[in-house]
Chain A
Amino acid sequence: MKLHSLRGKKLPTYLFLALCFNLVIAPVVYAASSNELSRSQAWAISLLGLGTAGLAAYLFFVMFAPEKF
């Protein structure tokens, strides 16, 4: 797929950025869990946390621009 065909697609871009950002969050979660979680579980939990934060941001957006929904 060429780069210009990805430009109009926001969702894959946001998912890719979230995965990249998770590279920062996941080690923090892993370190804080005192070996109770595996690395993959820490990765999944931090991704879930990011998703929840994104969902909260989306709901804030709905509150401020309800006519778009």
Chain B
Amino acid sequence: MSSSIYVAGVGVISAIGNNAAENLASLAMEKAGIGDITLLDTIYREKLPVAEVKLSNDELAAITGLPSNISRTTLLSVAATQEALDDAAIPGFGTLRTGFVSGNSVGGMDKSEDFFVDFLADSNKGKLRNVFDHECGSMTEIVADKLGISDFMTTISTACSSSANAIFYAARLIKNDVLDVVIAGGTDALAKFTLNGFNTLMILDKEFCKPFDEHREGLNLGEGAGYVVLVSEKVKNTLSKQPYCTLSGYKNSNDAYHQTASSPEGTGSYLAMKGALQKSGLTPADIDYINLHGTGTPNNDSAECTAIKRVFHPHYPPMSSTKSYTGHTLGACGGIEAVFSVLAIKNKIIYPNLRFETRIEDMPFEPEKNFLTGQEINHVMSNSFGFGGNCTSLIFSAI
């Protein structure tokens, strides 16, 4: 048993930057990555804003050393995991019991969509290579091979809480002495499948999203990947630099209310936050910043608000949704926001909730509007709530 789980490295690629340093710079400059669609081939160009990673598949391939004809989901994952592993710089990595736990929700759908354009026109056409890696687990296998991880790998696909659950699961693998090091987080690329699906649900904002605002009208889809390198106490003692923080609490819970929507009472999110606090042995007053799930949809934000009120009233810590920068990256958001949470502790900063104007009616709190520096941040809660009411909260704590 490892008593604590340490975060030894981070890696992130999103619409606001291709690595952690670039993401941090955009966060500080309050520069959102949302804009017109330029890479995804869709009828919604110039109609729906999205948060694209600013690199083409060719450019991602050049960075990662992989071919450009594989799924963008995989390319994004390799970019972020390589950064995380380099950052952690674990001595004797190859001699340790290593694992890769990765969440995603679209898998190789982008390539399957390419296949179907040709196949539907002529059933003798269509490159089968494009559907070969359709399945979510394919992403994880290709990346694990690339990273040289063969002891353990698995894929978690629980919609928007996928990568938070991956981190949660990785922590348990270390805690129970199954593995020494786990790279955990998630990845998702934009695809017609998700854009059209969310559009059908009528929860996409045609303007830039306004999380936690009374006049919010929906989310903007994003893409990216975010990973943390979790290590055991034993491995932590061999590191040449101090780890960032610990992962001190985690909890998953389920609403069991509706296929997509959260329950109005925010039951799942309430239980997730409450359980994560309990796991970490902290009280609500100990939390110094909440990185909200905050998608910008009327339903999520009101349920999350209600749940936060139930947990934190009357002492509300600063909170913000960084989806106002990155868009909602679905299976990647828990990983990306875990990285942001870790960086908040390390750099003593709190991120603003961009474009916030009006407090949600009847709520006694509102998100942070300014980029704050020099903050004493000991404990950060990161929320990730998925379709089907699958809710996860993680807590990162300063060492």
Q: Do A and B come from one complex?
A: no
Binding site for A on B (CB under 8 A): none
Binding site for B on A (CB under 8 A): none
